[in-house]
Structure 1
Amino acid sequence: MAKKPKSATESAKVPSVLAFNRKIEPSDALMQAGLWSNRDQVSTWKNIDLHQKRNRGTKSQYGVPDAEKTDPNLVWGDDARLPFDADTLKVFFTVKFLGNIAEPTTHNRPEFENKLNEKFQEYSEKIGFLTLAQRYIYNLVNARFLWRNRLGAEKISIQIKNSETGKIWNFEDAYQFGLNTFDSIQDSQLMEIANLVSNSFKEDHYLLLEVTAFAKVGEGQHVFPSQEMVMDPPKGQKSKYLYEIKTKEGFCAGIHSEKIGNAIRTIDNWYVDETNDLKPAIAIEPYGSVPNRGRAYRINQTDFYTLLINWLEDKEILEDDQHFIVANLIRGGVFGGND
């Protein structure tokens, strides 16, 4: 007797073992110093060194006992600044875009993979990857990945290079591309790069982009590498460690690849927030989690797992929600659930 076909509900169950590789792979970013007028002279740019600072400040946090309010707050940690003969921060990294998005690296339910591939193929043919690709590239040309280094810069320009063909695209004013909307997405250069990314997602064509940002922040000004997490530093010892990368010219201040990746995937403004008409874009996360705001924006049946199950059960869901599902697969991670 032939086996009874698996039902849609059975195929839609999230496997107890399920993981996907991420399909956007940024490198760490190097931070160098130079002059805005010398942006095209590679040899003039020098690594930014870290140095230590010991400061005697005051206590300002909430709830300090009266007896301690006059005590000094001793701070010892790393710091990074431009030298006084440089006015511009240069940040350089590479980012790779890959295909085979719907192929799990590991799972324990074949019928789930079969159904996922069916729905993913439907998405690829009827909707396509261009919307996602445009948003990812938008976050390169608006310099979101600079984080605090973006704030207060007089000027920011972006250069993107295709490592395979050598073609270069220049964006002279990153500020014309906002952080919370994607209104300028029809820029012709942006669209050209986005089409390459879309093709990489669809055809699994290898694509490596070299990204360079120049931010004119002023001579001697503070710059912000990534900060290393330190668990329970000893009292009275150094408590702030900044990230640095070893290069052939010595150590160089850097930005974590994870921080670059978070900026690139900050494309989710499809969530519902009844308390705020102007919704900020947030990073693609299964629950819309934003720890520094203490919020999870995707609860109440709008999280990745609920939408994924509805999608695999062939329920009608919005196109924006389908973008969100596929963007989570691109993000990658361990998604295993309970049987």
Structure 2
Amino acid sequence: MAKNKNAIASVLSFEKKLVPSDGYLYGTTWESRNEVTALTLTEKSVRGTISNREKPAVANDPLKLNAKIEKPNLQRVDSCSLLPYQDTLKLQFTLKILGGVQKPSACNNADFKQSYGVAVASYIQQHGFVELAKRYATNIANARFLWRNRVGAEYLLVQVNALNEDSKQSWEFDATQIPLRNFSYQSDDITSLSKRIADTLASEDQFLMLEVICFAKVGKAQEVYPSEELVLDKSNSKEKKSKILYSNNGIAAMHTQKIGNALRTVDTWYPEFSDPETSAGPIAIEPYGAVTNLGKAFRTPKDKQDFYSFFDAFALGEKLARVEDEHYVMATLIRGGVFGASDKE
């Protein structure tokens, strides 16, 4: 078969195989975790100060600088907090795991589709998604999906329930004992959960429905952090809120994208990971290794470490230099996306 770019399908897409719901936030107490109340958003009007770095023309002119920094910084913002008697945040979401990565959801090249199917079948036969499933299970067990809510939590308890009628099962984890910067932690429960995930991913049409419930003891009446909405409409910004938090049906919540990003934060195979000066720790699976809050892409076409450099060879039957690169390719396909090669120069 042809080993060239023209052999890559110009129409090629994959559905994501890890499908989380929104994460809903509730308040409770650690001693009575079954008694919960839905958390709602509160609007605040605050009087702050001007603290951003000014342009040289202003910073070097004392009159202009003083006139600007003496003005109050008036803001309307959303906030979310536990009630005065509550010390524990409950976050709950569901996660659907799908099989069928062997077949693209759209592909307009029959030869490529056949070649890709052979490559994936070989990967499943050799590796069976064992490594990836362990990493996904670890990110569930260590409560990485709490993001900022995880910082400063005294206790972290994660409960996972498989909801499939024919194969119900439950697991429980002390997330404080499971590290965020590596995937070396081992336990019988993580092994068991990993096997369920791996078996589903390797299947052609099975699914696994998980319910994830996390309790984080953060302190009485403490502020908690739902997802923040991106404010795209800047018109009349002085009259609008400068921070808008996310809620669903009146309940403070976290975006599916934010939970999904945490679950697929499994990439420790990028070149800079082992460099203590430039490493960002595990990063989310992305075609170019983009980490937006750092303003950096850790996998670039220039270095031939991006998804497309590996995928084009892998899908056309070539053997990649490292098994870790194969893991990365398959993790990106599980992420899903549109990966067709344009036929235009």
Distance 2:274 2:134 in 1: 28
Counterpart residue number, 1:307? 310
The yes-or-no answer on 1:122 pairing with 2:113 is no
Counterpart residue number, 2:238? 236
Residue by residue over 1:90-117, the C-alpha shift from the partner in whole angstroms, topping out at 9 and shown as x without a partner, is: 0000001111113111122111111110
Report if aligned partners of 1:99, 1:205 keep a CA contact under 8 Å in 2: yes
SS in structure 2 of the partner of residue 96 of structure 1? strand
| Structure 1: runs of 5 or more not aligned | 1-5
Counterpart residue number, 1:140? 140
SS in structure 2 of the partner of residue 242 of structure 1? coil
Residue by residue over 1:127-183, the C-alpha shift from the partner in whole angstroms, topping out at 9 and shown as x without a partner, is: 221100000010011000000000111111100001124422111x21211111011
The yes-or-no answer on 1:253 pairing with 2:252 is yes
Of 169, 172, 177 in structure 1, the residue corresponding to residue 171 of structure 2 is: 169
Of 26, 31, 37 in structure 1, the residue corresponding to residue 25 of structure 2 is: 31
Counterpart residue number, 1:49? 40
Counterpart residue number, 2:342? 338
| TM value normalised by structure 1 | 0.92
Residue by residue over 1:191-227, the C-alpha shift from the partner in whole angstroms, topping out at 9 and shown as x without a partner, is: 1011001110112322000000000011110100001
> Which residue identity does 1:14 align to in structure 2?
I
Tell me the CA shift for residue 8 of structure 1. 3.3
Distance 1:224 1:47 in 2: 14
SS in structure 2 of the partner of residue 61 of structure 1? coil
Distance 2:323 2:182 in 1: 18
Counterpart residue number, 2:200? 200
> Which residue identity does 1:270 align to in structure 2?
W
Tell me the CA shift for residue 187 of structure 1. 1.0
SS in structure 1 of the partner of residue 326 of structure 2? helix
SS in structure 1 of the partner of residue 194 of structure 2? helix
Distance 2:110 2:53 in 1: 54
Give the direction of change, closer, same or farther, for the CA distance of 1:192–1:315 in structure 2 (3 Å limit). closer
Counterpart residue number, 1:267? 266
> Which residue identity does 1:208 align to in structure 2?
M
* Runs of 4+ with deviation above 4 angstroms: none
| TM value normalised by structure 2 | 0.90
Report if aligned partners of 1:9, 1:313 keep a CA contact under 8 Å in 2: no
Residue by residue over 1:16-64, the C-alpha shift from the partner in whole angstroms, topping out at 9 and shown as x without a partner, is: 221110000000011000100112x2xx200001110000000111116
Counterpart residue number, 2:321? 317
Counterpart residue number, 1:296? 297
Counterpart residue number, 1:17? 11
RMSD: 1.5
Residue range with higher mean Cα deviation, 85-94 or 13-22: 13-22
Counterpart residue number, 1:102? 102
Residue by residue over 1:288-318, the C-alpha shift from the partner in whole angstroms, topping out at 9 and shown as x without a partner, is: 0001101100111010000112222414421
Residue by residue over 1:47-87, the C-alpha shift from the partner in whole angstroms, topping out at 9 and shown as x without a partner, is: 00111000000011111631311111111011100010100
Counterpart residue number, 1:84? 84
| % identity of equivalent residues | 39
Report if aligned partners of 1:269, 1:279 keep a CA contact under 8 Å in 2: no
